[in-house]
Each structure stands twice: as C-alpha cells, then as structure tokens.
Amino acid sequence: MRENREILSIVIPACNEAGNVTRTARALREAMEAEHISAAVYFVDDGSADGTWEEIRAAAGQWDRVRGLRFSRNFGKEAAIFAGLQAAAGDCCAVMDCDLQHPVEALVRMYRLWEQGFEVIEGVKEDRGRENVLYKGMSALFYKLMSAAAKIDMSRTSDFKLLDRKAVDALVSLPERNTFFRALSGWVGYRTATVGFTVQERQIGQTKWSTWKLMQYAVTNILSFTTKPLYLVVGAGVLFMILAIIQGIDSIVSYVTHRAVEGFTTVILIELIIGAIVMFSLGIIGGYVGKIYEEVKGRHRFIIAGTVGLPGREERGDDAL
Ligand code: UDP
Ligand code: MG
C-alpha cells in the first residue's frame, strides 16, 4: 500500500527530452511502487523546443504523482535543479537526469540509506561511460581545479544525489545565483554517504553539452565556487617582481661598467610576456567582477511560465510559447 503523503521528491531537469519523459516516469513509477516508496516526480522543463512539456502534461495525466514546472526559456540545468528543489514537498529530494543515465536502482539504494539516517547521499560514478579523449582530458583538468577548491575529490561526483529536507532547505535558502549544485551539496555538510553507480548509455536524444558549452560551464563554476585563480595573479606578480629585480640589477651594473646595453629582442620579448600576463590577470579579475555584477543585479534565477500537478498552484501558460 502506498502512503498518501509524499516522502521522496524526485527532481528531473529536462531540456528537449520529449522521447524520454514517458519512459522515465514509467520506470520511476514501477520502481517506487515495487519498493513501496511514496514518491512524487518533479519534471522541470528547461525551455525545451520539442514536445517535452506536452509529454510532461501527458505523464501527469497518467500518474497523479507527476508534477511539472515549465521555464519561460532555457535557464540551464542548475536553475532547473534549484526550481525543482524549491517546489519539492517531500522529506527528502533526489535529483536525477531525464535520460535514465542515472539508474533507478541506485536511487532506491540512496533512499534506503536516507532511511538509515544519512542526510546527503551522493551518487558517485564508478564508470564514466563512453566519453571521447578530449572530453576526458578537459574534465580531468576541471575536476583537478574544483577538487582543490572544494577540498574534496570531485572527479567522480555527479548531479545524481538524494538530500534530506534539512540539506534542501539550506541549499534553497542560499542567496547566491551562480550555484554549482554538485559541489554545494558537499558544502552544506551533514551526515554523508555515497552510492556508486555505472553511467548508463543514453538511449534517446542527444547530450546537451557541446565541448564549448562544457568549457563555459567549467569556467563559470570555477569562478562561482572559488577565488583560487586570483592567487595565480598574485603568483605571477611575485614571479615578475623577482625577475624585475634580477634584470634591474643587471641593467644597473651594465650602465655603471659602461657596457653598451644590447638586446632589442629581449625588450620586445619582455614586453610581450608582461603584456600577456597582464591581460590574463585582467581576464581572471574581470571574470570575478562579472560574477559580482550578476549577483548584485539580483535577477531571478529562472521564470516559471506554467505548472502542472502542483497542489495549490494555478495551472497556466500551457498555450503560450
Ligand atoms: N539539461 C537541462 N538544461 C540544459 C541542459 C541539460 O535541464 O540546458 C538536463 C537534460 O535534460 C538532462 C540532464 O540535464 O536531464 C543532463 O543532460 P545531458 O544528458 O544532456 O548531459 P550528459 O548526461 O551528457 O552529461
Ligand atoms: Mg545524459
């Protein structure tokens, strides 16, 4: 027998996942009913251009535990995760992908750990699935930086997690706009456990991440999570001061001993290197200034154009867009 009250809220960001919504909802329903878990599924349509929203509405019609939120445009996966967490009403919330790359069976294991008293249960990739060499290299570099910043090994972490209500409340009450869910769930603390899972192959549709988008994502997350790159600027400054002192002494000695100062090439090279370092440093500082600007503006992280199945909320906007 299913309990009436929703205990587990499953948040699913979905962007152009028309082919996956029904499958995912069905797989979750089967598993939740078989395991006697009282769950509700929150699909967040992140500005899809295909029929994702219609699919979500249809799924809500078939299973009364399906809820849907629709963004007015694409605001990104982070925004979709936070919108889902804000709407979720359960005692614990899970976040998983819409393409069934995160196995439902692992979700059940997470839930059992939560029942045992763990408050933050992280999905850890045991096998990263099929990825090309460039992707692997780039993500290795990104995770090295992030791991250093977050002081935890981030290389196998994912957005697949289950959080207790306490952790969810802590996360949604954060005032910052540039969030990095993957690292923030560790930052809130609480009793943590991990669940290993093998990344499944995506059956339908395509990954939303191009290499360029991933690079932007990496830079944004580094800037929003850590100030470590600023130390690079300081480091470059110190290094160049030492070089300047050495070169300065050499120049003075040459002047005093009346040795003609040669080396036009040296001058050009030094100027080019210093120019490059200054530009690079300005870029890093500019990145942080940009983030401050974004935070200070205090714009909404997302705009909701319509909902379905959410108790107490008016359904609207289904014919817009
Ligand atoms: N996603 C989203 N907004 C975006 C990009 C992706 O909500 O702008 C969702 C997508 O629908 C999926 C999840 O994030 O449920 C993971 O995306 P994807 O499968 O494309 O990434 P990958 O698994 O290849 O890392
Ligand atoms: Mg995927």
Q: What is the pLDDT of residues 286-295, one digit of tens each?
A: 889 988 888 8
Residue 220 lies in a domain: no
For residue 318, the model assigns a pLDDT of: 45
For residue 2, the model assigns a pLDDT of: 47
For residue 163, the model assigns a pLDDT of: 94
Q: In terms of domains, do 90 and 237 share one?
A: no
Q: In terms of domains, do 202 and 256 share one?
A: no
Q: Which ligand 1 atom sits nearest the alpha carbon of residue 199?
A: 23
Q: In terms of domains, do 234 and 202 share one?
A: no
Q: In terms of domains, do 135 and 263 share one?
A: no
Residue 6 CA to ligand 2 centre (angstroms): 26
Residue 216 lies in a domain: no
Cβ(98)–Cβ(20) below 8 Å: yes
Which of 11, 71, 99, 179 should be mutated for ligand 1, with most atoms under 8 A from CB? 99
Q: Is the dihedral of CA 107, 110, 114, 116 positive or negative?
A: positive
Which of 98, 208, 209, 301 should be mutated for ligand 1, with most atoms under 8 A from CB? 208
Q: In terms of domains, do 138 and 40 share one?
A: yes
Ligand 1, atom 23: nearest CA belongs to which residue?
Answer: 207
Which tokens hold the place of 33?
């009913």
**Number of domains making up the chain:** 2
The distance between the two most distant Cα atoms of the chain, rounded to a whole number of Å, is 97
Tokens 């996942």 found at: 17
Residue 221 lies in a domain: no
Residue 54 is part of which domain span? 8-206+307-312
- Exposed / middle / buried, residue 44 (Cβ in 10 Å: 0-12, 13-18, 19+): buried
**Measured between alpha carbons, how far is 304 from 311 in angstroms, rounded to an integer?**
15
Q: In terms of domains, do 262 and 140 share one?
A: no
Closest CA to 221 of 141, 126, 164, 300: 141
**Measured between alpha carbons, how far is 159 from 180 in angstroms, rounded to an integer?**
10
Rg (CA), the chain: 25
Q: In terms of domains, do 202 and 235 share one?
A: no
Helix extents (H) in the chain = 18-34, 52-62, 77-87, 104-115, 133-150, 165-172, 181-187, 211-225, 228-256, 264-297
Residue 192 lies in a domain: yes
- Exposed / middle / buried, residue 178 (Cβ in 10 Å: 0-12, 13-18, 19+): middle
Look up the CATH number of the domain holding residue 22: 3.90.550.10
**Measured between alpha carbons, how far is 147 from 51 in angstroms, rounded to an integer?**
38
In angstroms, the first-to-last Cα distance of the chain is: 40
Tokens 């007015």 found at: 72
Which tokens hold the place of 275?
């120019």
Residue 40 lies in a domain: yes
In the chain, which residues have pLDDT < 50? 1-2, 316-321
**Measured between alpha carbons, how far is 238 from 243 in angstroms, rounded to an integer?**
9
**Measured between alpha carbons, how far is 217 from 202 in angstroms, rounded to an integer?**
21
For residue 185, the model assigns a pLDDT of: 80
Which of 12, 20, 77, 202 should be mutated for ligand 1, with most atoms under 8 A from CB? 77
**Measured between alpha carbons, how far is 188 from 179 in angstroms, rounded to an integer?**
13
Residue 2 lies in a domain: no
Q: In terms of domains, do 172 and 64 share one?
A: yes
Residue 1 lies in a domain: no
Q: In terms of domains, do 240 and 183 share one?
A: no
Q: In terms of domains, do 97 and 245 share one?
A: no
Q: In terms of domains, do 41 and 115 share one?
A: yes
DSSP assigned state of 90:
S
Indicate which ligand has the atom closest to the C-alpha of 96: 1
Residue 18 lies in a domain: yes
Q: Which ligand 1 atom sits nearest the alpha carbon of residue 208?
A: 20
**Measured between alpha carbons, how far is 235 from 237 in angstroms, rounded to an integer?**
5
Which tokens hold the place of 43?
């699909």
Cβ(62)–Cβ(25) below 8 Å: yes
Cβ neighbours for 34, distance < 8 A, ≥ 6 positions apart: none
Q: In terms of domains, do 53 and 165 share one?
A: yes
